[in-house]
Amino acid sequence: MTNKINKNDQIKTDIIVKARELFKRFGLNKTTMEDIAQTMSKGKSTLYYYFSGKEEVLYAVAQKEIADTFGSILAEVEKQKSAQERLRAFFLKRFDVLEEKLNTYPAMVREQKKNIEIIHKIHLEFSLLERNLIKEILLYGIKSGEFAHINKKDCDSLAIAASTILSGIDIYTFVEGTVPPIGDQLNILFNITMRGVK
Amino acid sequence: MTNKINKNDQIKTDIIVKARELFKRFGLNKTTMEDIAQTMSKGKSTLYYYFSGKEEVLYAVAQKEIADTFGSILAEVEKQKSAQERLRAFFLKRFDVLEEKLNTYPAMVREQKKNIEIIHKIHLEFSLLERNLIKEILLYGIKSGEFAHINKKDCDSLAIAASTILSGIDIYTFVEGTVPPIGDQLNILFNITMRGVK
DNA sequence: AGTAGACTAAAACACAAATCGAGTCGAATG
DNA sequence: CATTCGACTCGATTTGTGTTTTAGTCTACT
């Protein structure tokens, strides 16, 4: 009994591993159930004994990816003592992991593109204006003594960070087709950040 | 001389206005140079006397859109006295404007979509885990006295805000095909935010 | 200077034919 | 009974094709 369940699971995870590899190499569209079956020297129908369909295979692969990724972040976080260092570790690791995934699944990333160039070009231009405005407001606040004194370079960095976050929200909005409903939350984040700037 | 320049500019801006309207209604692809010319009761060739091509028309329209949008934000900002209120006004207005644009150009937004659904679904799941981790770290910091006491609701809000920002950066990265090179800037922003949390 | 009609070349479209690939089924194997 | 597979279906995707649309040019008219 336990033997059977084990064997079943073994094959399942084998499928997941193989599928994952193929997805990495060829992307979602170019990987067929036939391909997956062949790399395991099995018939295509056999896959359907273990998974209800391609989507479920993909889902299983994604689940594993999520678990692995989240695990590696968690590990990094738990190395740290203080909450501050934990948070910092989280963000840094999270950033690394994002880049790593981007490089791991180039085919899948490529599948998702079209002609964003124009909008991007336009958006970039707007971002530059915006970034300067943010910087000016910051400098204004520093000059008036309302904000703590920050050196010019950090001021620049802050503006860049802020504008990038906004760009992220822009593109998020663009892709989703709706503005993320987090007005209040951002407000609270803003208040706390302000406490730090003052 | 000045008269001629004025007339030239007048027609140019007329073209821009008309093109803008058509882009709003029908999107980029479904708006032809012929269409634009017809709504002005002019020959198509005439457009090429004023603009080198469709792309330049689009660019001009975008320029105007940028100028208008930025102007409306700037106006809102300059109503405020303190730098803090200016910053806040900036973010809020910026948010409004984003949503407004989304509603103004639905056809153009629609043109830019494909099958993001799967990745989105997967991403959402990851976001939930991530959000909880952030919240837990925050609560950990509050319990230990390292962070200032924030009520649970605000803590939630902070976590949502942070995860949403990260989602934004995710999608940004996804669309751009590269992680935004602002590690240092984010670090500085992080430090300042921390000062506020403590 | 400003306009437009006729033109071209290339891209978009339409639609039929062929191909591919996800998913089913019943039979085979052990 | 658990597991595998070959043969099949059917809808989606791709391909080949001819046609239409459309960005952009050229020339000539005012």
Distances (CA, A) of A120 to A18, A114, B116, B180, B181: 36, 12, 18, 14, 16
Summarised one tens digit per residue, pLDDT across range B32-68 is 999 999 999 999 999 999 999 998 898 888 888 878 8
CB-side neighbour CA atoms (13 Å) of B84: 14
Q: Which residues contact B19 (CB under 8 A, 6 or more apart)?
A: B31, B36, B57, B58, B60, B61
Pick the more confident residue, B192 or A60.
A60
Chain segment A71-107, per-residue pLDDT in tens: 888 888 889 877 777 777 777 777 677 777 777 877 7
What pLDDT digit, counting tens, does each position of B77-107 carry? 889 877 778 777 777 777 677 777 777 877 7
For residues B122-132, give the mean pLDDT: 73
- Report the residue of A128, A140, A171 to disrupt the B interface, i.e. the one with the largest count of B CBs within 10 Å: A171
DSSP secondary structure, A75-117, as one string: HHHHT--SHHHHHHHHHHHHHHHHHHHHHH-HHHHHTT--S-H
Clarify whether residues A7 and A102 are in a common domain. Answer: yes
pLDDT on residue A165 = 81
| Tokens found for residue A95 | 């950033």
- Find, among B59, B168, B29, the residue nearest to A121 by Cα: B59
pLDDT exceeds 70 at position B159: yes
Name the residue with higher pLDDT: A43 or A114. Answer: A43
Between CA A136 and CA B74 the distance in angstroms is 12
Q: Residue A170 in contact with residue B94, Cβ under 8 Å?
A: no
Question: Residue-wise over A106-128: b if at least 16 C-beta within 10 A, else e?
Answer: ebbbeebeeebeebeebbeebbe
Same structural domain, A119 and A135: yes
Question: On chain D, which bases lie within 7 A of the protein's CB atoms?
Answer: 2-7, 14, 21-27
Return the pLDDT at B179: 67
Among the three residues B87, B109, B131, which one is the final residue of a domain in this structure? B109
Q: Which of A53-62, A149-158, B76-85, B122-131 has the lowest mean pLDDT?
A: B122-131
Say what the pLDDT of residue B114 is: 32
DSSP category for residue A1: -
In terms of residue numbers, what domain contains B21? 2-109
Residue B103 and residue B126 in one domain: no
- Which residue among A133, A179, A187 places its CB closest to the CB of B98? A179
For residue B181, what are the contacts with CB-CB under 8 A and spacing of at least 6? Answer: none
Q: Find, among B19, B194, B98, B81, the residue nearest to A165 by Cα.
A: B98
pLDDT at B16 over 90: yes
A96 and A134 housed in the same domain: no
Chain B residues inside the 8 Å CB shell of A179: 95, 98-99, 102
Among residues A54, A77, A108, the one where a domain terminates is A108
pLDDT value at residue B185: 78
Do residue A25 and residue A90 come from a single domain?
yes
| C-alpha–C-alpha distance, residues B92 and B111, integer Å | 27
Q: Looking at the structure, do residues A15 and A99 belong to the same domain, yes or no?
A: yes
A120 and A184 fall within a common domain? yes
- Nearest by CB to B195, from A126, A146, A195: name it: A195
Mean pLDDT of chain A: 79
Query: In 3-state terms, what secondary structure has residue B29?
Result: coil
| Cβ contact B76:B93 at 8 Å | yes
Q: Could you tell me if A21 and A31 are in contact, meaning their C-beta atoms sit under 8 angstroms apart?
A: no
Residue with tokens 């695990």: A71
CATH assignment at residue A75: 1.10.357.10
Domain limit, last residue, from B109, B132, B156? B109
- Asked if the Cβ–Cβ distance from B192 to A193 is below 8 Å, we say yes
Number of structural domains found in chain A: 2
A123 and A34 inside one domain: no
Same domain membership, residue B92 and residue B9: yes
Interchain CB distance below 8 Å, B175 and A120: yes
In a shared domain, residues A99 and A137: no
- Which nucleotide is nearest, taking the CA of residue A44 and each C1'? D5
Condensed to tens digits (0 to 9), the pLDDT of residues A172-193 reads: 766 666 667 776 777 777 777 7
Q: Specify whether A18 is located in the same domain as A98.
A: yes
Contacts of B156 (CB under 8 A, 6+ apart): B135
- Cα B47–Cα B48–Cα B53 angle in degrees, nearest 5: 105
Res A113 pLDDT > 60: no
Q: Do B164 and A161 touch (CB under 8 A)?
A: no
pLDDT(A45) > 70: yes
Tokens of B38: 């017809």
> Do B56 and B123 have their domain in common?
no
Give the pLDDT score at B113.
46
For residue B191, count other CB atoms closer than 10 A to its CB: 14
Among B17, B57, B166, B177, residue whose Cα is nearest residue A120: B177
Most confident of A41-55, A72-86, A160-174, B130-144: A41-55
Residue where the block lists tokens 């822009």: A170
Amino acid at B31: T
